[in-house]
Every structure is written in structure tokens, then in C-alpha cells.
Structure 1
């Protein structure tokens, strides 16, 4: 089973992983699962980047046909298998409903479910009554909903610690936080405390950190940084049994491209705030009952150091219209930055930058979804 920790009858190697986010941790999982020893270094006391500043969505339905969809489907299987072994991930196969509030949005969904790969994606168009049976919390006015049974969710703020606890139980894993790596050569990593770490393979999963050491080793990487804003409410007081999106999500995921989407973009432009901040509504309920709500997209650096209120007001209005009730009080707001391949048809940028040293970055908004499969594919490419 690809998602389980087990000893294989292959010669063990020592793998050094730089980066403590979900991508680095899934690489550690794959290496340990294949019988190898892993040392994972992270410059912060705990991962603080995009791996914890996200929805925790395992988002399959909107992925581009081909490699991206294949990667997401394989990752979805791995998340479920790993979740069975690591309950602390909070994995749940809750699916998602994209709520459609206009005939143009319904037409996009109709065109999407008519495609040959709709069943593979787990897509089905539901009427209002069917959608409310799946998710009774949807009391707002809408015309239909696109159901994706393959979508799932995990708890991003606790996923990495839960995975590390399982890895440590293997006896072949060492976690070294608070270690900023200063140099990388074949078989050796030196951190800012002067400690040298020896290994057979080095894998750099440094996320949106693309300067400094990464630039020295890899030069200019074909990856851009993307900034987003999100928020989280206090507990809703009832179950949101699926993740929820709105029709604006169609504009930002490649699976929905076609003549119906062209008509939506032409005849139903986004409100000014949503257009200016490249917004969609995504809502996921956390284990404590609160709602994670977002998001925005910004691509032009330098990014602002503060958050803007107008996008939050827009998200609140749309979420309340979908739920048909006021949101609970907003408990926290944040911004995050992730790394995305400039060629967005590429799921990840994976390259051996020096003999035995691999850089893996740029999954963009697919990092939480696809990281288990990306880690698996790296292990295969490296020959672990």
C-alpha cells in the first residue's frame, strides 16, 4: 500500500530534506515508507508558510485533464490511506458543492458534467433539493449545485505535526526545526548552527523561499510567487457537511474552460472587488466548527505587508448569501504566499540542480492537494 509506512527490501539510504511544510513532509513520508532514514530541517520552529495558511482542501474536481488530474486523483487516494494511519490529519471525504446562482453558471456546470471525464472526477449536477439533502446548511437562494464526491479535506494547522509523530514512530526519522541551511553540496548540508548533516540524497522543498541559497544553487527558477488573503470564523454552530464554492471558482480552475465559461466571463463579469483581487469563494469547516473562508490572488510583487478589508467584506456577503444566515464572528485573518510554476500546466518544478541534490517547488494552489503524489513521484525519480 503506497500510503503506509513499511520496510522494503532495498538498500537503505540517508535522505536530507530541507523544508518542513507539507511538501517536504510528504517527501519524508515516502522516503521512510520505502525503508530509508530521513533528516528533515526547517528554518522556523514550525512550518509557517502556505502549508498552514490554506483551506486544507484536497481539491480534485477542477484540475486540468491529463497530468494534473492524474496527480490529484493519486494524491486523493494517498491522503485517504495516510489518514487511516494518522487520524490527527483530520482527513474526511466530505466532497464539495459549487453553488450556482445564475443560469450562466448552471450552463458551465452542465457543459462540465457532459465531458467524458466527469465520472472520473466524481462530478454530478444536483438540483436545489438534492444539494440541501447533502448539505442542509445551504439555506440561501441558488439554482443548482455541482457536486464533486472526490474532493476531501484535512486540517492544515495540525497535519504536519501529526505526520511527523507517525514518522518518528518508525525510528528512521529526525526532525530538526530552527535550522536555516547555509550550504548544500553533494551528500552534505550545513546549517546556521554550524552542524553538518551527511546523506546520500538532498531534497529541497523550500516553498516560496526562492532567493538566497536556492538562487545560488539553482539560478533563476521558473516559478512565481502568489499572495492570497483568507479568514476564519468562530464555530458555525451546525455542520457544514461539504466544502462549498461559488460560481466564481469556475473562472480559476482549468477543468471548466469552454464556450459556457466564455459566455459567463463575457456576460456576467465579476463585481469590481472580486475582479480586482481575482476572487472566488471557498468555505471549509474546521474540526472546531469554525469556517475557513477565502480567497484572493495577487501576482505582482512587491506584495503589501498588510491585508485589505474590502475583499473580506465581499467574501462575507457571498458566504452569507450562500448559507442564508449571518456568519459567526471572524476570529482571525491572514495572508499567505505560495510558489507556482510560471507554466501553470506544470504541476511542479522538479530538477536535479546538482548531483544528488533535487529542488521540488512550485505546485501553486495545488500543494496541499497534490503533495502526497508529488512526493511519490520524486521518490521514483530519485530512485529511492
Structure 2
């Protein structure tokens, strides 16, 4: 197993559950990419219908079962509220809440009083919210170490950080220390690292890189009982497409800062009471090396409007890059690039949500 992020770690988990011995190799001392620079959202509601939704629903069940075995994962079935503040936004929420897939997604339209009863921390002005009871959350900064600790307890798992795999060799890989690691099956879960060995053995693959900005605040001082999104989320998730969304786009354009950065507000409370907020999307490379302030001001304004008070002080800001398959019909790019050697990357913003199910599918396809 090459790659120490959530996708690689869930593949290691799946293999160990199936009775295999696993060696997991990571070039950093810990995962430092998109797997720790995200919301920890298990986000079912917004997924595209069909295979993507079915995968997300299956993954949500797997996360809950894994969380029951690994409490330090911090899994909670907290659901999400997408809060609407205008009649045009309310129309989108009403359309999907009455749609054919509403029950599969766990959707219910709430008025303002019902929204505040479900999440009393939301004291701003709004018309209501789209409630999704299928959504959940984990702790992204601690998920991988918690899973690795549980894997190590089985006696069939070895973690080798600080090593970069340089070569595929017969029946295994060789790292940058010159050590060979034998394997019946090699899985490369390399995230947004698409150069080096990946390009050498797989060439250019149908995966792009996406950059985002996020932040973390001081503790809120009270419990945010659900994950929270603003109605700009309707614009970026396929589940909400339809006539009402078209009408929203025409009647209520995003503010220039939000439109320019392809923004939505997502807000999740961490177990220490702080809030993870974001995010932006940048697709054109080369990406900037710095973060910009205008998107954070926009997030602060929108979050404050929903909370009905100023957002707690931001204590951390960061940018992250994730890999996204360019074929929108694919959950992930999965390909056998050499005998018994598979490359799995490009889940995009679905990585944290769908990783357990993606790993399960890889096991089926690769036959381990």
C-alpha cells in the first residue's frame, strides 16, 4: 500500500479485514495533503444520482461501523443543514425535498423555527433549511492515526513513513532507501501526487488537480449540532440541478468574490469546539503559493449571518490540493497499471465521504 492519506488508509483497512498482511508506505512522516486539509464531512446529500449516490450511502454505513470499532475516529451522525435566506434558494430546497430521490438522500425541508430547534446555534435570519439526516462527520486530522493504531493492534499491519517508493519491481516495490518490499498486490493511492513514479508508470492520467482555501476558528462556545452549508452549495453539487437552480442562477448571481473563487460556505464543528470553514475552488494551474484574504472575509460574513453573531477568531488558514477524475461519471480513477499493481486516485471532493466504499470496490475489482 503506497500512500498514507484517507484513501490509502481505508484500502489498508479493507485488506486487513479480509485477512491480508499490509505494509503501508508514506513519503511524509504523516499524511499532509487533502486527507487532513478537509472538513471531515461524510457528505451524502449533494451527490449525483445513481452510482455516486449509492456509493456515498454505502460508505456512510461503513464509516458508522468503523467508527463503532475505532472511537478515536470521531465519527458522529450529525446530519447537515443547508440554510436558505431567499425565496429563490427556498425554491431549490423545496424542489429537491419533493424529488424522487429525497428519501434516499434523507432530505426534509424545515422552516426557520424547525431549523433553530434542530440547531440552536443558528440564530441569524433565514427562511429555513434543507435537512439531510444521512450526512456525518469524522475528525480529519486524527482519522488516519486512529485507523493505523487499530490496524497495528491486529498484528498484520506495518506503517513505514518517511519513504518514497521509486520503482515497481517484480512482486513488489523499491523505496528511496533501496529497500524492496514484496507484495502480492500493490495499491498506489497517491492523492494529488501525479508526477514521479505515477507519471513514469501510468503516463498522463485523466485526473486534474483542484486547489482550495479553508480555515479553522477558535471554539464557538456552544455546540453546533449539525454540519452547516449555505445555499451557494446548491450551485456546486449535482443533486440540486433542476429548474429551480436555473432560476436561482439567473435571479440571484453570486457576489463577485464568491463567483470568482467558486465558493460555498461549509462549516463543521470539531470535537474541541472549533469550526472548520471553507471553501474555494481553483482549477487553472499553476496554482498560487499564497492564500488570499477576500474569500475569508466572504466566509466570515456569511457564517456570521447564519450564526447571528460574529464568527469566532480564525486561528489557522491553509490551502490544499486534491485530485479529481476528469470524467464526471467516475467516482475515482482506478486502473491496473502493471501486473497486480493498481493506481487509485482522483476521488475529488468525495474522498473523505466515499473512501471506505472505494476501498471495498477495489478489493472486488483487484481480487484481494
TM-score for the superposition, normalised by structure 1? 0.95
Aligned to 1:144: 128
Q: Aligned with 1:18: secondary structure?
A: coil
Aligned equivalents of 2:240, 2:7: Cα separation in 1: 27
The equivalent position to 2:196 in structure 1, one of 205, 212, 232, is 212
Aligned to 2:318: 334
Aligned equivalents of 1:101, 1:329: Cα separation in 2: 24
Query: Greater CA deviation, 50-59 or 323-332?
Result: 323-332
Q: Deviations over 1:122-162 (max 9, x none)?
A: 00000011111110000000011000000000000000000
The equivalent position to 1:295 in structure 2, one of 269, 279, 285, is 279
Aligned equivalents of 1:186, 1:355: Cα separation in 2: 9
Q: Matches of residues 10-49 of structure 1 in structure 2 within 5 Å?
A: 17-49=1-33
Q: Matches of residues 138-177 of structure 1 in structure 2 within 5 Å?
A: 138-177=122-161
Aligned equivalents of 1:328, 1:113: Cα separation in 2: 32
Are the equivalent residues in 2 in contact too, given 1:91–1:152 (CA < 8 A)?
Answer: yes
Q: Deviations over 1:184-236 (max 9, x none)?
A: 13411100111100010000000000011100111111000000000000100
Aligned equivalents of 1:196, 1:315: Cα separation in 2: 48
Aligned equivalents of 2:298, 2:310: Cα separation in 1: 13
Aligned to 1:258: 242
Q: Deviations over 1:336-363 (max 9, x none)?
A: 0000011122110000011110000000
CA-atom RMSD in angstroms: 0.5
Aligned-pair CA distance for 1:24: 0.2
The equivalent position to 1:69 in structure 2, one of 37, 53, 61, is 53
Q: Aligned with 2:109: secondary structure?
A: strand
Q: Aligned with 2:229: secondary structure?
A: strand
Q: Aligned with 2:301: secondary structure?
A: helix
The equivalent position to 1:249 in structure 2, one of 233, 238, 241, is 233
The equivalent position to 1:90 in structure 2, one of 53, 60, 74, is 74
Aligned to 2:351: 367
Are the equivalent residues in 2 in contact too, given 1:79–1:91 (CA < 8 A)?
Answer: yes
Are the equivalent residues in 2 in contact too, given 1:185–1:357 (CA < 8 A)?
Answer: no
Aligned equivalents of 1:188, 1:255: Cα separation in 2: 41
Aligned equivalents of 2:119, 2:98: Cα separation in 1: 24
Corresponding position: 1:377 with 2:361: yes
Corresponding position: 1:282 with 2:280: no
Corresponding position: 1:235 with 2:232: no
Corresponding position: 1:308 with 2:289: no
TM-score for the superposition, normalised by structure 2? 0.99
Aligned equivalents of 1:77, 1:190: Cα separation in 2: 36
Q: Deviations over 1:269-318 (max 9, x none)?
A: 00000000000000000010000000000000000000000000000000
Q: Aligned with 1:255: secondary structure?
A: helix
Aligned-pair CA distance for 1:328: 1.2
Are the equivalent residues in 2 in contact too, given 1:53–1:336 (CA < 8 A)?
Answer: yes
Aligned to 2:301: 317
Q: Deviations over 1:76-129 (max 9, x none)?
A: 000000000000000000000000000001100111011111011100000011
Are the equivalent residues in 2 in contact too, given 1:180–1:191 (CA < 8 A)?
Answer: yes
Q: Deviations over 1:40-91 (max 9, x none)?
A: 0000000000000000000000000011001100000000000000000000
Aligned to 1:101: 85
Aligned equivalents of 2:164, 2:356: Cα separation in 1: 24
Aligned equivalents of 2:312, 2:171: Cα separation in 1: 52
Q: Aligned with 1:99: secondary structure?
A: strand
Aligned equivalents of 2:267, 2:229: Cα separation in 1: 6
Query: 4+ residue runs of structure 1 moved beyond 2 angstroms?
Result: none
